């Protein structure tokens, strides 16, 4: 991806790749979309892709793979133990992330499971910049608690703060002093903070966190699932790093952490994941859990074909042309929506464009899940599947009361090298129509609520007949051009 000045003055992203393999899409009629969202319990996770036009649910495992990744898959060594494919994976981790010891896992949440079970005891507190849903679930599962230590202005959704993912250093010191060093097994940094709009942290902040960790003798753990994009935004936004390569920035980031884990579904456009470190004693503490939960130490529950693709994808993470594609498309969408007055998280982050559902639908109380309702309404008007990132993605307290999310967001994920500019413009057009008719969107309530990670499997229903009325309005305005 590169910036090109167009003669007409437009600032649009220019793809530096060509499309050679295509997958057919379907834009089903509005009547079918209404039936589909009802059958899915108004939960976009439960939609079938046969009813989805553009799948913007997530970037996890949905980034386009490169020709070199696909070619590498044909070279896989499918030995159960001692696979040469794993040797390539391990070498790529050392070369790109600077970590010698690697434990393979089938995806990011598997790494969170192993790390949590190894290091967290009941009552422990994990300071962090912000939680991710699966990380929180694993920490709670072993009896731990979290302390989210963002700066106060990080939750101002529309702002110019370039690094909302930073940890507030004063809050971090206070958290350690109040809870005691022995009760804090590690500090967790997430690159980039998923649930508040894909917002990055700065290198300066990570260095400050490292200094605090050293001061108290606490381990620093880095969730590096979106480290490439975080590194790209550091290069774009942090003056001290503008002349550095992504390779230098990434290795500096990982060098500041004692333990690095990642989902290759995000990091390298493939499947699988890993935990890596240069401290052999940390590796030894976790090693036995890999055969127990994941598979042998040289495949970790990952297909060896995918391991070959991960190794190539890790190296491609250093290619600014590839890494910048998603942030540039996200920037384009966010700026276009913002220019139309549609509430959206700014500055643009990574992973996707995040619509501020709380401001989009201020008439819907948080207890009726405005982000979930907006996701359902947007599917009706567009056939596009986004993801709720709000109170449905939160949890209940010990008394069964909702813990209201800090932000109600509709996330429209923009995986690398997947969508065309015309498809992205369609998304913007349909959101603009929906914003002009936002008063027609109503709330939702649970009909089936799983006890853990309810946003994946839960079922809901509307609090009124608003979906049918919205469909009638869509049909009236668009006719057969749906």
H-state helical runs in 202-303: 203-216, 227-237, 246-255, 264-267, 280-287, 289-293
Told to judge if 317 belongs to the known catalytic residues of this protein, a careful annotator would answer no
| Block residue for tokens 């993470």 | 317
Told to judge if 74 belongs to the known catalytic residues of this protein, a careful annotator would answer no
Please, is 416 exposed, middle or buried when counting C-beta atoms within 10 Å of its C-beta (0-12, 13-18, 19+)? buried
Pairing mode, strands 273-277 and 101-105: antiparallel
Told to judge if 378 belongs to the known catalytic residues of this protein, a careful annotator would answer no
Cα distance between residue 344 and residue 337, in whole Å: 7
Q: Catalytic: which of 389, 416, 430, 438? A: 389
Cα distance between residue 382 and residue 412, in whole Å: 12
Told to judge if 329 belongs to the known catalytic residues of this protein, a careful annotator would answer no
- CA–centroid distance for 234 within its chain: 18
Of 45, 75, 47, whose CA–CA distance to 60 is shortest?
A: 45
Q: Catalytic: which of 51, 59, 168, 223? A: 223
Torsion sign, CA atoms 302, 119, 97, 287: negative
Cα distance between residue 224 and residue 257, in whole Å: 10
Cα distance between residue 65 and residue 317, in whole Å: 12
H-state helical runs in 268-419: 280-287, 289-293, 304-316, 320-323, 325-339, 357-360, 370-382
Told to judge if 80 belongs to the known catalytic residues of this protein, a careful annotator would answer yes
The DSSP string of 67-91 is HHHHHHHTT----SSS-HHHHHHHH
Cα distance between residue 202 and residue 239, in whole Å: 11
Decide if 278 contacts 127 (C-beta within 8 A): no
Told to judge if 133 belongs to the known catalytic residues of this protein, a careful annotator would answer yes
Q: Catalytic: which of 266, 271, 328, 411? A: 266
At residue 105, the 3 state secondary structure works out as strand
The DSSP string of 28-40 is --HHHHHHHHHHT
Residues 6+ apart with CB under 8 A from 164: 150, 151, 153, 154, 193, 196, 197, 199, 200, 349
Q: Catalytic: which of 80, 448, 456, 478? A: 80
Q: Catalytic: which of 44, 58, 133, 391? A: 133
Q: Catalytic: which of 119, 163, 232, 455? A: 455
φ, ψ for residue 168, nearest 5 deg: -75, 110
Told to judge if 134 belongs to the known catalytic residues of this protein, a careful annotator would answer no
Cα distance between residue 376 and residue 410, in whole Å: 10
| Block residue for tokens 């939160």 | 394
Q: Catalytic: which of 53, 132, 201, 283? A: 132
Instruction: Indicate which residues carry an active-site annotation.
Output: 80, 132-133, 223, 266, 389, 455
């Amino acid at each position: 991806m590169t910036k090109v000045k167009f003669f007409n003055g437009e600032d649009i992203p220019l793809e530096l790749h060509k499309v050679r393999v295509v997958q057919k899409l379907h834009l089903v009629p509005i009547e079918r979309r209404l039936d589909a969202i009802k059958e899915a319990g108004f939960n976009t996770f439960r939609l079938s892709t046969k009813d989805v036009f553009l799948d913007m649910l997530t970037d996890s495992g949905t980034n386009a793979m490169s020709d070199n990744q696909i070619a590498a898959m044909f070279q896989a060594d499918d030995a159960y133990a001692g696979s040469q494919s794993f040797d390539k994976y391990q070498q790529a981790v050392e070369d790109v992330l600077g970590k010698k010891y690697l434990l393979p896992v089938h995806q990011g949440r598997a790494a969170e499971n192993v790390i949590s079970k190894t290091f967290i005891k009941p009552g422990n507190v994990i300071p962090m910049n912000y939680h991710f849903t699966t990380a929180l679930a694993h920490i709670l599962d072993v009896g731990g608690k979290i302390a989210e230590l963002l700066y106060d202005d990080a939750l101002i959704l529309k702002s110019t703060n370039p690094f909302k993912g930073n940890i507030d250093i004063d809050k971090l010191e206070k958290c350690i002093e109040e809870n005691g060093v022995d009760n804090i097994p590690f500090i967790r940094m997430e690159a980039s903070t998923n649930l508040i709009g894909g917002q990055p942290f700065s290198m300066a902040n990570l260095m400050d966190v490292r200094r605090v960790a050293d001061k108290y003798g606490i381990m620093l753990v880095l969730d590096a699932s979106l480290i490439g994009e975080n590194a790209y935004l550091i290069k774009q936004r942090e003056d001290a790093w503008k002349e550095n390569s992504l390779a230098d920035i990434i290795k500096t980031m990982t060098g500041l952490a004692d333990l690095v884990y990642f989902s290759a579904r995000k990091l390298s456009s493939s499947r699988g994941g890993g935990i890596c470190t240069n401290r052999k004693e940390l590796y030894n503490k976790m090693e036995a859990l890999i055969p127990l939960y994941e598979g042998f130490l040289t495949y970790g529950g990952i297909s060896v074909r995918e391991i070959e693709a991960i190794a190539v994808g890790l190296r491609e993470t250093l290619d600014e042309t590839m890494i910048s594609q998603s942030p540039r498309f996200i920037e384009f969408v966010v700026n276009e929506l913002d220019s139309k007055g549609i509430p959206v998280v700014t500055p643009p982050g990574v992973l996707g464009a995040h619509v501020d559902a709380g401001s989009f639908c201020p008439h819907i109380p948080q207890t009726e899940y405005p982000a979930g309702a907006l996701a359902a309404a947007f599917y009706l008007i567009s056939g596009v599947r986004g993801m709720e990132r709000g109170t449905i993605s939160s949890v209940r307290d010990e008394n069964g009361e909702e813990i209201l999310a800090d932000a109600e967001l509709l996330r429209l994920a923009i995986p690398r090298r997947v969508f065309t500019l015309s498809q992205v413009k369609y998304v913007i057009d349909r959101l603009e129509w929906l914003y002009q008719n936002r008063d027609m969107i109503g709330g939702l309530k649970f009909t089936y609520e799983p006890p853990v990670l309810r946003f994946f499997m839960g079922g809901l229903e509307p609090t009124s007949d608003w979906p049918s009325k919205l469909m009638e309005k869509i049909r009236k305005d668009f006719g057969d051009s749906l």
